[in-house]
Amino acid sequence: MGITKQYLRYSASAVFGLIASQKANVTFITLRGEKGRYVAVGACEHVFIWDTRKGEKVLILQGQKQEVTRLCPSPDGLSLAVGYEDGSIRIFSLLSGESGITFNGHKAAVTTLNYDHLGGRLVSGSKDTDVIVWDVINESGLYRLKGHKDAITQALFLKEKNLLVTSGKDTLVKWWDLDTQHCFQTMVGHRTEVWGLTILSEESRILTGSADSELRAWNICYIKEGENTSEGPQSKKSKGPLGEEQEEEEDVEENTEERILRCQRFGSIMREGRDRVVSLGTDRTRRFLACHGADSVLEVFCALSEEEITKKMEKKKK
């Protein structure tokens, strides 16, 4: 008896029962005046808005043919920036669910999106190694920053200064002066890809995570006008996150033409997770840090002040 091949009568149709797709991140959004209730997730080419209390889908932001790779809500909570596999970026209104702005500048998938604190500018990074700063109000690109040699993993604006800090799979963390659109400092203290980057303690410290179990902390010291910066790099001793003295490593390459800040290795935090960092995030006060690893482990840390560190060390001595 021959094979009937009855399976040929069936062909692939639409996907059903989809909650979220793998490539995009998940982010909380403000909807209907409520915070901490609704989340936005990428779902193939669309974006689903879920009510976490009821477990219901409340809104669908219709996409086109390309899969969603990155999501970022605006600071005012009224819009959502969506990056796609083909490098395009669309900004949706969370009130109407419609897309009014589209940016096209990347040649590959968008890997990171972030607004500045006012919501007037948007920075995007891509697998094409470029970083682009967009003017959301005028719906245009401001400038393209080149310097990384591999995919961009994170890009963050500084609130107090017109600066941008980026990280990439090329193991580098770069500081950019947005007034002159050039890189004035490169941090080279990682041996593997830098997957996570966040700012702590009122923009006085940054934390980076890579493929190992070590989170590296860096002190940010802004250089005032007229300050003598002719001293060469020196090996110094400093107190680590737990107060222990340790030798600082020289992990920074600087452009001496214009020094805006010093960024020096401060210490390390060892994670329990063994796999690479997926993402680093902080609360609004930037006091609490959450680290999500590829092994599905979420670790939460608290950034102590100098007074709290001193008290803790005194208790240990007793």
- For position 228, what pLDDT does the model report? 55
Residues 269 and 175 placed together within one structural domain of the fold: yes
Residues 173 and 100 placed together within one structural domain of the fold: no
Residues 167 and 313 placed together within one structural domain of the fold: yes
- Average pLDDT of span 273-296: 87
Per-residue b or e along 18-37, where b marks 16 or more CB atoms closer than 10 Å to that residue's CB: eebbeebbebebbbeeeeeb
Contacts of residue 55, defined as CB under 8 A and 6 or more positions apart, other chains included, come to none
Residues 141 and 187 placed together within one structural domain of the fold: no
- For position 90, what pLDDT does the model report? 96
Alpha-carbon distance values, 231 to 234, 235, 256 (Å): 8, 12, 11
Residues 311 and 284 placed together within one structural domain of the fold: yes
Global pTM reads: 0.83
Is residue 203 domain-resident?
A: yes
Alpha-carbon gap, residue 207 to 257, rounded angstroms: 26
pLDDT tens figures, 75-115:
999 999 999 999 999 999 999 999 989 999 999 999 999 99
Is residue 251 domain-resident?
A: no
- For position 82, what pLDDT does the model report? 97
Is residue 65 domain-resident?
A: yes
- Average pLDDT of span 276-304: 87
- For position 190, what pLDDT does the model report? 87
pLDDT tens figures, 135-194:
999 999 999 999 999 999 999 999 888 999 999 999 999 999 999 999 999 998 888 999
Is residue 305 domain-resident?
A: yes
The last residue of one of the domains, among 119, 146, 173, is 146
Q: Sorting pLDDT into bands at 50, 70 and 90, what band is 234?
A: very low
The last residue of one of the domains, among 111, 146, 181, is 146
Residues 186 and 283 placed together within one structural domain of the fold: yes
Is residue 247 domain-resident?
A: no
Q: Sorting pLDDT into bands at 50, 70 and 90, what band is 225?
A: low
- For position 253, what pLDDT does the model report? 60
Domain at 199, CATH number: 2.130.10.10
| Domain residue limits at 165 | 159-224+259-317
Residues 76 and 117 placed together within one structural domain of the fold: yes
Residues 60 and 186 placed together within one structural domain of the fold: no
Residues 58 and 167 placed together within one structural domain of the fold: no
Alpha-carbon gap, residue 164 to 178, rounded angstroms: 7
pLDDT tens figures, 55-79:
899 999 999 889 999 999 999 999 9
Is residue 87 domain-resident?
A: yes
Residues 167 and 118 placed together within one structural domain of the fold: no
Is residue 210 domain-resident?
A: yes
Nearest by Cα to 167 from 139, 209, 119: 209
User: How many structural domains does the chain have?
Assistant: 2
- For position 252, what pLDDT does the model report? 61
